[in-house]
């Protein structure tokens, strides 16, 4: 199939040491030979693959001095012939080189088109491509690791092994249907139940890792809650190490939800400061209160802040709102001493947002109450909603099949098992039916 030459600036646009302009397609050398002139007196057509050549990158208006490398199909990222120009980084330079490539036989690549071609050419699975995008977008170490694990096909391999198990099951049913007189029925039913139970359990394990996976990828949402003046903005500043929120001692001045992020043990935590959860006649402030309530519902953890020297029924009311959620009760202003008004709320931790005392302990507590101890970065985590949905659907089909094994003919049960297989296949992006059938027959040569 014909594949047009596509070109794009592959590095971020801006002033930088080096930039990469990449061309992929059937004939990127046709484009390159019009604009790259190596120091060694040879044509780009004589380039040895994977070797950098120094030379002049010529546009219609200017020249740059840089490098060019040729990756020969299929040994390239896209699986196609690919050319990379390594020029100096700069908006005018890279745009000029791009324009030259466009007028020399390449068209502008669409978003993700290089990766899409890599997928079409079987260089990576769909979930691997998703991992790659996750890695590029990651702002925390844990995000990079989660993306990398997907990118390196960890999930696809796992899913493929589960699909193989299901394929075995389907093959045994096929045998059962075709050779009922061989009395395979009882044996195959037992194996079938065993294998399907194994697969659904494995799927369940993956599904239950989704929350952790999401935390690794997107970060954990933490809401700071407490009545006005308990020190939420001060705590946020202390955690973020800068004065983003406005600190004031007039009650109710934190009208917006001020947001910031910190990394604790390589995991990203998104912090939300809330306007005190209190009813207010002031329209702007009550908007803030509505927003606060919304954040409260979306938070993975609520840090409920108290000033015990100033404890009132208002604190008690807020506590009633949050006590059944994942909450950490924190007494602020410990620097003021232990003078306190009695109450029946259990304090998890005492801190001072002002002096910074116990702020590190608070960070540890936030981590423990959410992500928990001992993340195994090499574990199998589900990070994508799409994968979660596919696995949920697969599990539903397989569980249904399991529930029917004893009451329905196996060829009917096979329909749901096959649907389960198909849902799993959505993760890697594999196409379905023919592959299953081929697989079944290649494994079981029973003469058919």
Structure tokens at 325: 């959620």
Please tell me whether residue 175 adopts helix, strand or coil conformation.
helix
Query: Should residue 20 be labelled a site residue for ligand GDP when binding is judged by CB under 6 A?
Result: no
Nearer to ligand GDP, 355 or 385 (CB): 355
Nearest approach, Cβ of 229 to ligand GDP (angstroms)?
A: 4
Whichever of 84 and 273 has its CB closer to ligand GDP, that residue is 273
Q: Is 232 in the site for ligand GDP (CB under 6 A)?
A: yes
Q: How far is C-alpha 8 from the geometric centre of its chain's CA atoms?
A: 25
Q: Is 108 helix (H, G, I), strand (E, B) or coil?
A: strand
Nearest residue (CB) to ligand GDP, 196 versus 235: 235
Strand, coil or helix: 277: coil
Report the 10 Å Cβ neighbour count for 56.
Answer: 14
233 touches ligand GDP by CB under 6 A: yes
Applying CB under 6 A, among 247, 347, 404, 432 the residue interacting with ligand GDP is 247
- Closest to ligand GDP by CB, 142 vs 230, is 230
Q: Give the nearest distance from C-beta 234 to ligand GDP in angstroms.
A: 3
CB of 9 to ligand GDP, least distance (A): 44
Q: How far apart are CA 179 and CA 173, in angstroms?
A: 10
Question: Is residue 350 within the footprint of ligand GDP (CB under 6 A)?
Answer: no
Q: Collapse the DSSP code of 114 into the 3-class scheme (helix H, G, I; strand E, B; otherwise coil) and give the result.
A: helix
With CA atoms as reference, report the closest residue to 64 among 31, 20, 123: 20
For ligand GDP, what does the binding mask look like between residues 397 and 426, x meaning CB under 6 A? ------------------------------
CB of 342 to ligand GDP, least distance (A): 20
Least distance between ligand GDP and beta carbon 305 (Å) = 7
Residue number, nearest CB to ligand GDP: 231
- Which of 216, 151, 174, 205 lies closest to 367 in space, CA to CA? 216
Selected binder of ligand GDP within 40, 249, 339, 434 (CB under 6 A): 249
Of 86, 100, 333, 350, the one binding ligand GDP (CB under 6 A) is 333
332 part of the interface to ligand GDP, by CB under 6 A = yes
C-alpha dihedral (385, 389, 394, 396), degrees to nearest 10: 130
Per rule CB under 6 A, is residue 226 in the interface with ligand GDP? yes
β-bridge partners, 301:
222
Closer of 255 and 325 to ligand GDP (Cβ): 255
Q: Taking CB under 6 A as the rule, does residue 288 contact ligand GDP?
A: no
Q: Cβ closer to ligand GDP: 256 or 263?
A: 256
How far, in Å, CA of 57 to CA of 87, rounded?
8
Looking only at the bridges linking them, the beta strands covering 16-25 and 81-89 are: antiparallel
Smallest gap from Cβ 341 to ligand GDP, in A, equals 16
Alpha helices per DSSP H over 81-183:
91-102, 113-120, 126-137, 141-151, 154-178
292 near ligand GDP (CB under 6 A): no
Q: Which of 69, 87, 67, 120 is nearest to 9 (CA)?
A: 87
Closer residue to ligand GDP (CB): 335 or 364: 335
Q: Six-digit token pair at 86?
A: 């390594």
DSSP 398-445: HHHHHHHTTTS-HHHHHHHHHHHHHHHHHHHT---HHHHHHHHHHH--
353 binds ligand GDP (CB under 6 A): yes
Residue numbers at the binding site for ligand GDP (CB under 6 A):
226, 228-234, 247-249, 254, 332-333, 335-336, 352-354
């Amino acid at each position: 199939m014909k594949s047009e030459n596509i070109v794009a600036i592959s590095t971020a646009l801006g002033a930088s040491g080096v930039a990469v302009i990449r061309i992929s397609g059937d004939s990127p050398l046709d484009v390159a030979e019009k604009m790259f002139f190596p120091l060694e007196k040879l044509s780009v057509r004589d380039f040895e693959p994977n070797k950098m050549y120094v030379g002049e990158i010529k546009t219609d208006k200017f020249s740059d001095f840089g490098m060019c490398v040729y990756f020969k199909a299929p040994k390239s990222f896209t699986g196609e012939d690919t050319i990379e120009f390594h020029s100096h980084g700069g908006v005018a330079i890279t745009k000029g080189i791009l324009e030259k490539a466009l007028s020399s036989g390449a068209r502008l690549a669409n978003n993700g088109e290089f990766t899409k071609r890599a997928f079409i050419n079987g260089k990576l699975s769909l979930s691997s491509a998703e991992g790659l995008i996750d890695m590029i977008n990651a702002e925390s170490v844990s995000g990079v690791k989660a993306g990398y694990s997907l990118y390196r096909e960890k999930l696809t391999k796992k899913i493929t092994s589960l699909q193989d198990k299901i394929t075995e099951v389907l093959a045994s049913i096929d045998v059962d249907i075709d050779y009922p007189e061989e009395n395979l029925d009882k044996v195959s039913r037992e194996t079938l139940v065993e294998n399907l139970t194994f697969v659904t359990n494995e799927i369940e394990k993956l599904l239950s890792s989704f929350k952790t996976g999401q935390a690794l990828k997107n970060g954990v949402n933490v809401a700071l809650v407490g009545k006005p003046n308990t020190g939420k903005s001060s705590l946020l500043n202390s955690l973020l190490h800068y004065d983003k929120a406005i600190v004031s001692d007039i009650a109710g001045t934190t009208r917006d939800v001020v947001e910031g992020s910190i990394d604790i043990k390589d995991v990203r935590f998104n912090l939300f400061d809330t306007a005190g959860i209190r009813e207010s006649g002031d329209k702007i402030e009550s908007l803030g209160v509505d927003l606060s309530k919304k954040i409260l519902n979306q938070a993975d953890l609520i840090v409920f802040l108290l000033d015990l020297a100033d404890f009132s029924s208002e604190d008690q009311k807020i506590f009633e709102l949050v006590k059944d959620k994942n909450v950490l009760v924190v007494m602020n202003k410990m620097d003021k001493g232990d003078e306190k008004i009695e109450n029946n709320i259990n304090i998890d931790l005492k801190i001072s947002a002002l002096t910074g005392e116990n702020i590190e302990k608070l960070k540890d507590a936030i981590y423990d109450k959410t992500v928990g101890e001992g993340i195994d970065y090499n574990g199998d985590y589900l990070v994508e909603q799409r994968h979660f949905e596919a696995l949920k659907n697969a599990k539903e089909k397989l569980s249904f099949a399991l529930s029917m094994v004893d009451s329905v003919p196996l060829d009917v049960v096979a329909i749901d098992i096959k649907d389960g297989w198909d849902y799993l296949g959505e993760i890697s992006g594999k196409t379905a039916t023919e592959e299953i059938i081929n697989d079944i027959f290649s494994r079981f040569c029973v003469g058919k």
